[in-house]
Amino acid sequence: MLYWYVIQTKPKKEEVAVSHLEHESIQVFFPKMEATSIIYGKSRKVIKALFPNYIFAHFDPFVSYRLVRWSSGVSRVLGFDDGPAPVDDQVIEIIKRRVDKNCVARKALHFKAKDRIRIRSGPLKDLMGIFDRWASEEGRVKVLLNLLNYDARVELHYSQVEKIT
């Protein structure tokens, strides 16, 4: 009987395991997420594994366990002493609803004018401010800060700010 299983991959070998398992006609689900990385002051969008070193495979363990277990890039199939532990289909469906057609989860951005925010990183870290507006398609935002009785408008990348509830 077909069930979903969690496959632990060797470090940074998720793509290798996915490719090999798909070549062997095993259905694989490898959810990823969009993240922002700031390197040398420049922000870049990167796609990385939602669960680093883990993928999901849909197979019958009585038929395909050895094939999956010894596939290139696979470290082990998670389970207990008596064999692999299946993952409930509902768990997989919940994750699938949160990713797009490319299996990438994207962070929803819900900043509105006059939202209170805190700066999370950079030279202005931990300062509080007010979200003013989106400044660009690349994810830049304008934030109003009150510094020593001076209202300053600064422009930051959205990943550097968080909404205060």
Q: What is the pTM of this model?
A: 0.68
Closest CA to 139 of 119, 123, 160: 160
Kindly list the distances between the CA atom of residue 81 and the CA atoms of 60, 65, 106, 149, in Å, as whole numbers in the listed order: 18, 15, 37, 65
Q: Which residue has the higher pLDDT, 4 or 99?
A: 4
| pLDDT tens sequence across 28-71 | 999 998 877 777 777 677 889 999 999 999 999 999 999 999 99
Kindly list the distances between the CA atom of residue 127 and the CA atoms of 51, 113, 148, in Å, as whole numbers in the listed order: 32, 18, 12
Q: Which residue has the higher pLDDT, 128 or 42?
A: 128
Q: How many helices (H) and strands (E) in the chain?
A: 3, 15
Q: Report the alpha-carbon distance of residue 137 to residue 34 in Å, rounded.
A: 16
* Residue-range domains of the chain with CATH: 3-105 (3.30.70.940), 116-163 (2.30.30.30)
State residue 137's pLDDT score: 65
For residue 107, name the pLDDT band (cuts at 50, 70, 90): low
